[in-house]
Amino acid sequence: MGAVLTVLDKLMIMFMLLVTGYVCRKKQVLSNEFMDGISGFLTKIVIPCFMIDALQIDFTAQLFHDGMVVFVTCIIMHLMGFVVGLLSAKAFSLSKSAKGIWIFSCMFANIGFMGVPVIALIFGGNSVFYCAFASFAFNITAYTLGVVILNGCSEKEDKKAIDFAGLLKAPVNSMTILGLILFVFRIKLPSFIGDSMEMVGSMLSPLAMMYVGTVLGKLSFKEAITEKWAYVLSVFRLVVMPLLAYLILKHFIHDTLILGVIIIGLSTPVGALCAIIAAEYDADVELASKYIFTTTVLCIFTMPMFFLLFL
């Protein structure tokens, strides 16, 4: 019972941060320009610093092996999400524009903005280290196959060209690779650099959750809660994908912490990145925002069920 209350307490902290961002947006405490800047600050500064700090631990062959298990497994799970999303989109006969958002939502949970903060709070220990590998897998897949999916389902004739080299050189990917090099070669950053990155990275939880709240704050509440497909998508994103992954992976991954990081990461709602990339490549941003809103609210009820599998 104590473990259940701990999980609920941590999730409520995340929820209160989300509500804070939502209220700030509705009350116009935060402008659109400011929040656009926060998005860039998170993806270009805070998350890269978080990744570097997470990888500044003593190297062991076992840790590196386990990290790679997380990385490869998450890549496979994203591909499984693609198959599930594609088949279900065809079964429901979704429109071309809706299909791209649907498939992307089935593939990619909010690992970076919501998964990492919640996992770090509840699991602690090496969970943050494993989150770095999970996030790396997320970014590589989202910024390649994910972009292709959203761009391909755009209904605009003059589609934006995809710069894969530029996407893969995104700060979060570059800094993760740097962090891995430092980890493998046992290079410790000077304390003034390492401590600075740790301080910046520690802002991830509050800033990320408040940012998600501001994204939700853009929507009309009535429009968000009346989007019927958002509830169907929520079943796939919050229940089907993590449950399917658990039923498959429990036979191959016997380390509870590693399996927990992967499954809890997959149980998070649709990521804000879906709306960000959708906007950049002329996909349906409004639909993406509705999926983000509904899954974020409903995950308060579904995520505890998956945490209980590992407590």
Which tens digit of pLDDT belongs to each residue from 236-249? 999 999 999 999 99
Span 4-19, average pLDDT: 76
pLDDT > 60? residue 294: yes
pLDDT > 90? residue 31: no
pLDDT > 60? residue 1: no
Range name among 36-45, 124-133, 177-186 with the lowest pLDDT average = 36-45
Between 94 and 3, where is the model more confident? 94
Span 188-197, average pLDDT: 94
Collect all residues with Cβ–Cβ distance below 8 Å to 160 and sequence separation of at least 6. 151, 280, 281, 282
Please tell me the predicted confidence (pLDDT) of residue 237. Answer: 96
Please tell me the predicted confidence (pLDDT) of residue 77. Answer: 96
pLDDT > 70? residue 262: yes
For the entire predicted model, the pTM comes to 0.86
Please tell me the predicted confidence (pLDDT) of residue 109. Answer: 92
Please tell me the predicted confidence (pLDDT) of residue 82. Answer: 96
Q: What is the pLDDT of residues 40-94, one digit of tens each?
A: 788 889 888 988 998 998 999 999 999 999 999 999 999 999 999 999 999 999 9
118 within 8 A of 14, measured Cβ to Cβ? yes
Please tell me the predicted confidence (pLDDT) of residue 4. Answer: 65
pLDDT > 80? residue 311: no
pLDDT > 90? residue 144: no
Band of pLDDT at residue 307, cut at 50, 70 and 90: confident
Buried/exposed 276-291: b ≥16 CB within 10 Å, e otherwise: bbbeebbbbbbbbbbb
pLDDT > 70? residue 272: yes
Band of pLDDT at residue 2, cut at 50, 70 and 90: low
Residue 19: how many other CB atoms lie within 10 Å: 16
Q: Which amino acid is at 77?
A: M
Alpha-carbon distance values, 277 to 36, 88, 225, 250, 282 (Å): 13, 22, 23, 33, 8
Cα–Cα dist 210/213, whole Å: 5
